[in-house]
Structure 1
Amino acid sequence: MARRSLVVEVADELLDRIIAGEFAPGDPVPGELDLAERHEVSRMTVREAIKTLTAQNILRVERGRGTFVNPINHWSSLHAVLRATNEGADARNSAVQLIELRRMLETGASELAAARITDEELSELGVIVDEMRDAHAAGDVGRFVEADLAFHDVVLRASGNPFVAVLLEPLSQVLAERRSETSAVPEIQEHAIEMHAAICAALKSRDSEAARTAMDAHMQQTLDDLRRYILAQ
């Protein structure tokens, strides 16, 4: 059996080449012999690396024809998709797609949270919005991003559904990086403060529909700001 470290090394480099666009969806990847020579490993090691990427639906093996790259929407590895969308040529579109995902999950989480949020969590949200205002006034982007992320964490926790937070947790690093980029724009910070305050008020009213609407408006504003201040540049 090939050593696991070598298998991972070969699989990761092949994935890097796919992400970089060297092999597009539908393209064949090099054969076992070529990959073995490139990495100076055995063909068994290459075979295991191909199996790893095939199990994640990144590659598909067609008997008698070869091994081919699948479109990214076929991939079943969240880690690989994150790498492709964050590092690949389509990174700008992925920023929009990430907001679309957040919109689907966080509007529903807000709706649930309105009926389940505790007084302590409401108080925590109020403190966080004040922290965002202070950070904005001080021009402290890092502090603003930290407060922004903390606000959404509280809402997800208040939804009472652990699966929502689990689904978003792997995206935390990407979200933090994207927030740092967008939150560097003062106008975006101002919009975020206004929207977070509206969400807080809706949750305080215990009105599920109002909470869902407020979060949806926040996601739309985030998308509009991304397109206007970041992607248009």
Structure 2
Amino acid sequence: MSSQLKSNAKGAGSLVAQVRERLRSEILGGQYAPGDRLPSEIELTETHGVSRTVIREAVTGLRYDGLVEVRQGAGIFVLKPNTPQPLSSRLDTARISSDLEVLEVRTPLEIEAAGLAALRRSPAQEEAIFECHARVLKCIDANESIREADLALHMAIAAATNNPLFMQFLESHSASAIPQSKVVADDHGADQTAYRRLIHKEHQAVIVAISDGDEKAARAAMQQHLRGSQVRYRDLLRELRGVSAS
């Protein structure tokens, strides 16, 4: 089965989707019950015949779906599937405040990561960053959520620092690390698309600077991107609380 995955896949994105859907089917089909621990990351790479990066991205997708949680030092555990909640209940001020806290911590770390990536990235890591950027655009063109692809891009930049602690931070906060797709409601199609393209443009400035090896420009572009995310989230927080900008 693993060889079939390899032969059919056209890239890392398709491999991630295949592994994610296979694990999702196994969880929802009852092969893994709530509370069960999934096989280790190494075991999953052997079972599915893919890299550890693919497994991590697939697990990240399952975390977004509320199907698993990663417990540091213990493994990946299956959660009881949640009934989807209305957008109004998900967009509560407590959740947004928490997202803002993560954004504030991310900002100095990812500014440093962007600068280090510009200095340290290997050719393979640079290609991975561009591939992730292309995946974001593909999601936009398909009118799909960019959240998972967005996180993968930031993870690729973190990996290019060649300091594993940057990736570990994003992995440990992945559930709230990329909150921006919730700023515009899903039923506002044109606004959502425009918002996603703005994010894509900000990303592009970061990755071009990294590709050019321009540490200063990479830091500046990442700062603009994450500071902008904070501003947009604070605007949403004020709107939900009925506070005008005047």
TM-score by length of 2: 0.53
**Deviation (angstroms), 1:105:** 0.9
CA–CA separation in structure 1 for the residues paired with 2:100 and 2:239: 13
In structure 2, the CA distance between the partners of 1:136 and 1:230, relative to structure 1 (3 Å rule), is farther
Q: Aligned to 2:109, which of 88, 101, 105?
A: 105
Note the residue ranges of structure 2 that are not aligned, 5 or more in a row. 1-71, 73-89, 187-191, 241-246
Letter in 2 for 1:162: P
After superposing the two structures, state which structure 1 stretch, 222-231 or 189-198, moved more. Answer: 222-231
Aligned residues: 146
CA RMSD of aligned residues (A): 2.6
CA contact under 8 A between 2:103 and 2:177: conserved in structure 1? no
Deviations, residues 90-136 of structure 1 (Å, cap 9, x unaligned): 43322222111110110011111111111222222222222212211
CA–CA separation in structure 1 for the residues paired with 2:235 and 2:183: 11
- Name the residue aligned to 1:196: 203
In structure 2, the CA distance between the partners of 1:90 and 1:135, relative to structure 1 (3 Å rule), is closer
- Name the residue aligned to 1:215: 222
Secondary structure at the aligned position of 1:232 is classed as helix
- Name the residue aligned to 2:126: 122
CA–CA separation in structure 1 for the residues paired with 2:235 and 2:197: 15
CA–CA separation in structure 2 for the residues paired with 1:123 and 1:164: 19
**Deviation (angstroms), 1:139:** 0.8
In structure 2, the CA distance between the partners of 1:89 and 1:188, relative to structure 1 (3 Å rule), is closer
CA contact under 8 A between 1:125 and 1:151: conserved in structure 2? yes
Mapping of residues 1-16 of structure 1, within 5 Å: none
CA–CA separation in structure 1 for the residues paired with 2:193 and 2:91: 26
Mapping of residues 98-177 of structure 1, within 5 Å: 98-141=102-145, 144-175=146-177
Q: Aligned to 1:93, which of 70, 94, 97?
A: 97
CA contact under 8 A between 1:182 and 1:230: conserved in structure 2? no
CA contact under 8 A between 1:92 and 1:231: conserved in structure 2? no
CA–CA separation in structure 2 for the residues paired with 1:87 and 1:214: 28
In structure 2, the CA distance between the partners of 1:129 and 1:227, relative to structure 1 (3 Å rule), is same
Letter in 1 for 2:193: P
Deviations, residues 17-72 of structure 1 (Å, cap 9, x unaligned): xxxxxxxxxxxxxxxxxxxxxxxxxxxxxxxxxxxxxxxxxxxxxxxxxxxxxxxx
Q: Aligned to 1:227, which of 214, 234, 240?
A: 234
- Name the residue aligned to 1:181: 182
CA contact under 8 A between 1:132 and 1:193: conserved in structure 2? yes
CA–CA separation in structure 1 for the residues paired with 2:137 and 2:199: 10
After superposing the two structures, state which structure 1 stretch, 87-96 or 164-173, moved more. Answer: 87-96
**Deviation (angstroms), 1:179:** 4.3
Identity of aligned residues (%): 24
More helix per residue: 1
CA contact under 8 A between 2:93 and 2:237: conserved in structure 1? no
- Name the residue aligned to 2:212: 205
